[in-house]
Structures are given as C-alpha cells and as structure tokens.
Amino acid sequence: MKKNICFVCHGNICRSPMAEYVFKEMVKKAGLDGYTIVSRATSSEEIGNDMHPGTKRILKAKEIPFARHQATRLMASDVQVYDYFVCMDDANVKNTKRMLNLQDNRVFKLLDITPLKRSIADPWYTGDYETTYTDVNIGCKALLQKLKEEKNTEI
C-alpha cells in the first residue's frame, strides 16, 4: 500500500520543503511510485511564500530537483489525507498533534526513526543549510526504509 507523507516545520520554507523534495527524489530513484509527498507549516507567518533561497541553493548543489513552492499551512482536513506527519522538531510535533487532534504514532520527528533521535536545526536561525540537508537526508533514508519494511509486512 502506498503512503501519503506530509513533512511539517514551522514556516514551510526551509526544512519541510527540503525534506519533501529530498524524499521525492529518493522515492523516484528507488523506483517506487504512487506516493503522495507534500510539506506544510504549523504557523501562518510564511503562507504563500516560496522556499527560502538557502533551501533552493542546497537542493541545487545536491542536484535535487524542485518546483516552485508555495508555503501552505496544515489544515484539520489533512488528517484524512496523510498517513504520516513527519516533523522537524518537538514544537512541530506538539503543534501538529494539537492542530490535527492526533495523539497516535502518525506524528513523529524525522530523526526519531534514526539513531540520532533529535530535532533538525532550523537553518532560518542557524544559517547552516548544509547540516540541515545532512540531517534531512539521514532521516529521509530511514523513512524510506521504514516504508519499505511496512510494505513487506502487509498482506
């Protein structure tokens, strides 16, 4: 069964769109299809804005294709569409659960499925898009493995 994945960060201009496009490329290279992969914000501050130039730069440098992005806020109706809400930090997890009225394992931090088990630093504040990319890449590889394992256990 294919999964619908929603990556979540505060503004949907740095980390979550980076994860969206990194994961889309990983899924494509793995020869998988039928996945819906999007990103959303927990705040309304950046709604309608494109990805941060730093995010675009790192995606270009890593040869990850991306399209024009428009920051979009998480909506209550998303709970019926997406199987997983993959967040970048603890505040994203808390806000996503509150906004969607979810308390189950559908909401988790990207790096919680890795040995790192920590938040992904926000390059909006750190300016370090390379480290953010490295963490996103590690997390997306683990997420792809998780989805493959889930697929193998389905009847």
Phi-psi region of 58 (alpha: psi -120 to 50; beta: other; left: phi over 0): alpha
The pLDDT > 70 percentage for the chain reads: 97
Q: Under a CB-based contact definition with an 8 Å cutoff, are residues 5 and 143 in contact?
A: yes
Residue type, 108: F
Q: What is the pLDDT of residues 116-129, one digit of tens each?
A: 999 999 999 999 99
Per the document, the length of the chain is 155
86 CB burial (10 A radius; 0-12, 13-18, 19+): buried
pLDDT at 35: 93
91 CB burial (10 A radius; 0-12, 13-18, 19+): middle
pTM: 0.96
Q: For 4-150, which CATH class?
A: alpha beta
What are the helix (H) ranges across the chain?
Answer: 15-29, 53-61, 90-100, 123-126, 129-153
Q: Under a CB-based contact definition with an 8 Å cutoff, are residues 5 and 110 in contact?
A: no
pLDDT at 76: 96
Residue identified by tokens 């109706």 is 77
What does R_g of the chain's alpha carbons equal in angstroms?
14
Region 109-119 average pLDDT: 98
Q: What is the pLDDT of residues 26-50, one digit of tens each?
A: 999 999 888 999 999 999 999 999 9
Catalytic residue, from 14, 78, 87, 122: name it: 122
Catalytic residue, from 6, 9, 87, 140: name it: 9
Catalytic residue, from 15, 40, 78, 140: name it: 15
Question: What's the distance, CA 45 to chain centroid?
Answer: 18
The pLDDT > 90 percentage for the chain reads: 91
Cβ atoms within 10 Å of 15's Cβ, excluding its own: 32
Q: Is 9 a catalytic residue?
A: yes
pLDDT at 2: 79
Task: Inform me whether the pLDDT recorded for 155 exceeds 80.
Answer: no
